[in-house]
Structures are given as structure tokens and as C-alpha cells.
Amino acid sequence: MNSILWASQILLALVFLYSGINKSILSEQQLIARGQTGVVGYSTAAIRFIGIAEILGSIGIIAPWWTGILPWLTPVAACCFAGIMLLAAPIHYRLKEPRNVATNVTLLALSLFVAFGRFFD
């Protein structure tokens, strides 16, 4: 089970790190062109904030559990990722993007799996 949790954490970290870096450096139009359509209508400051939060979450889902320093932060980071996906899915649903909604739901499930797996480890 530990191996599956680690694989899930690494996958989540990579996905959110990629998304966070893009949101931190690209314009709204560039993000939309890359398929990150959930940013439509948000201010640049809000997009950058989300990007930085995703980058920090990518660190938080790996580093605390790996180092043993404040390991409770890992399931907290997973819960925060779940929260981001709960907010993102309705946006993509309104934009009539079923593939993005499916991705959001998958990442939500993976985040909850890590959260519960690490809270009760």
C-alpha cells in the first residue's frame, strides 16, 4: 500500500507542478491554448496565486512525508489538491468540457486516496 501511495503522491506532484509552473509564467491566452481553459475570466493575479499554490502543494505532498518533518502536511496538501479539483470540475462542466471534468474527478479521487492513506497510516 505504501508503494501505491508514493506513486500517487509523485503523480499528483508532477501534474500540479506542471500546471502550477504554467499558471505562474504563461498568459491567460497561452494557458487556454495549452488546454488549461479553467482560467477563462480570472485575473492575472488570481491565476498566478493558483499557480504558486499548486507549486507549493507539489512540494508539500512529497517533502514532509519523505523527510519525516511535519509529515501531517502531506495529507493536508492532498486535501488542498482535492479542494482545487472540487472547484475546477464545475468550471469545466459549465464550459462543456467532459474530458477536463473527468480529469478533475480522477485527480480528486487520487488526492482523497492519498489524504486518507496518509492520515491513517
**105-121 tens-digit pLDDT:** 999 999 999 999 999 98
- For residue 41, the model assigns a pLDDT of 87
Q: pLDDT averaged over the chain?
A: 96
pLDDT score of 67? 97
Average pLDDT for 49-60: 97
Does this model's pTM top 0.95?
no
| pLDDT score recorded for residue 116 | 97
What percentage of the chain exceeds 70 in pLDDT?
Answer: 100
Boundaries of every domain in the chain: 2-119
Determine phi and psi for 95, rounding to 5 degrees.
-85, 5
The per-residue pLDDT for range 70-85, each reduced to its tens digit, is: 999 999 999 999 999 9
Scanning the chain, the segments in alpha helix (DSSP H) are 2-25, 28-33, 44-60, 63-67, 73-94, 98-119
Predicted local confidence at residue 57, as pLDDT:
97
